[in-house]
Amino acid sequence: MANIEQKLQSNLDAKLFALTLDRRAPKPLHLQLADALRDIILSGGALSGARLPASRGLAGELSVSRMTVTTAYDQLLGEGYLSARRGGGTFVADHLPHLAPPRGVKPRLPQRSADWRPFQPGLPDWALFPHRIWARHLERSWRAPAPGLLAQPDPLGWFPLRAAISEHLSAWRGLECDPEQVVITGGAWDAFDIVFRAILAPGQNVAVEDPGWSPLRHMLTRSDITPVPIRVGTDGLDAHDIARDIAAAVVTPSRHFPTGVSMSLARRVTLLDWARSTRALIVEDDYDSEFRYQGQPLPSLSGLDGLRNTLYLGSFSKLLSPALRIGYLVVPTAQIDPVRSYLSLTGSRASLVPQPALATFMDSGEFATHLRRMRRTYAKRQACLVSALAPLADDLVVTPDPSGMHLCCPLAPALADIATDKDVSELGAAHGLTVRALSSHAVLPDPPQGVLLGYAAFDEDALRESAEVLTGLIRQVHVR
């Protein structure tokens, strides 16, 4: 009941906040106010019982005399729109429907389901998010905000968060960087946009992985930069395939998206040598690097390079929640000024509100605890899915992946001879599954054939049931 009353009062207060009077109009101010209040009451929905501001307070907000407000209130009291309680204030009267003109029924828009279909890749399990812990950090950071939070924000982001990210990268990825090199972004898309517009130049060519993240090619083209696709093999992208007139290369060496392969150490060294010899840049998207379940991760390219010719890109969308829209970009010292100049003109797209809370969340050690919990859960789910797909051994190449949030399963010859990965994807979609086709992420001829099966966001029972459905669908393909 208290929540309903609070919502009612909030609704009225919001409408009163937008109320204005025109001193140049011929109609007296008290009549303007009475008309405006009457319109609010009649068009504001269920406002009965909501309390109006004290006459002195409303007069101060509208910069009019208290007499103007009391006269308007008296008018509406006489008309029955308001009621007064001795010593209690003035309220919107009850039982007002007979005073309001008939209103048409506004059609309700259909509600979109918030549920994701099984095997949707790239989704974290939001149920694992430590909501209470996060709420505590958020409340503490804004209950008594630091002076810097209320001042002109730094376009590179809240410095304590940049320092926390610097320590995190040193401990988890062996990447030593100064907090001054860290830029808070609104996510991966925002980070790429900063690189393409603040550091690269229109007319340049940039090497991208094929298959790869499809929106990346769109962002490059929008920035008047030409994407040059390079086919990715079992050891990752080969720098020998990159022409010397390429200004930069965008790579996912820790876990290539979407195939999941890791770039071998030899190819990492070759790629860094290419960048040094051609004075090109490497943009390292460290996709899914935190979710490693087996062995030690290979060092980041940026760590091997010492951030001389590399930029490092990360995001909290998979680690916490996509709703936060918080990521980061680590740039070489020589690129700090161009990035700062660009963001000083455009402003940062990253909201300042969650940044101090995220900084204390990371400094407290609770962030690391959360990551370890996610790792354990996702590792079990991957093992469950691999086991559940065993009946498809002749149709899909299913092997455990040492990291990531989805399995990339190439089509085995028995299935590839009679169907494409897009056929499997369409069949899954018709039966409630999101089975992404590997070939849809490629633009070069003869794309690899496989399916992407996300497991991180789904519990083990859902994965087993979905794998059973997929098994039945693929068996139908053989019968046709």
Low-confidence ranges of the chain (pLDDT < 70): 1-8, 44-46, 95-115, 296-297, 480
- Predicted confidence at residue 8, as pLDDT, reads 65
Rounded Cα distance, 40 and 58, in Å: 15
> What pTM, to 2 d.p., does this model score?
0.77
- Predicted confidence at residue 7, as pLDDT, reads 67
- Predicted confidence at residue 109, as pLDDT, reads 44
Query: Rounded to 5 degrees, what are φ and ψ at 158?
Result: -65, 120
Q: Which domains does the chain have, with CATH numbers?
A: 2-99 (1.10.10.10), 129-366 (3.40.640.10), 369-479 (3.90.1150.10)
Q: Is 260 left (phi over 0), alpha (psi -120 to 50) or beta?
A: left
- Predicted confidence at residue 40, as pLDDT, reads 82
Rounded Cα distance, 251 and 313, in Å: 10
Give burial (CB, 10 Å; 0-12/13-18/19+) of 231: middle
Element spanning 383, H or E: helix 366-388
- Predicted confidence at residue 111, as pLDDT, reads 46
pLDDT digits (tens, 9 = 90+) for 230-260: 999 999 999 999 998 999 999 999 999 999 9
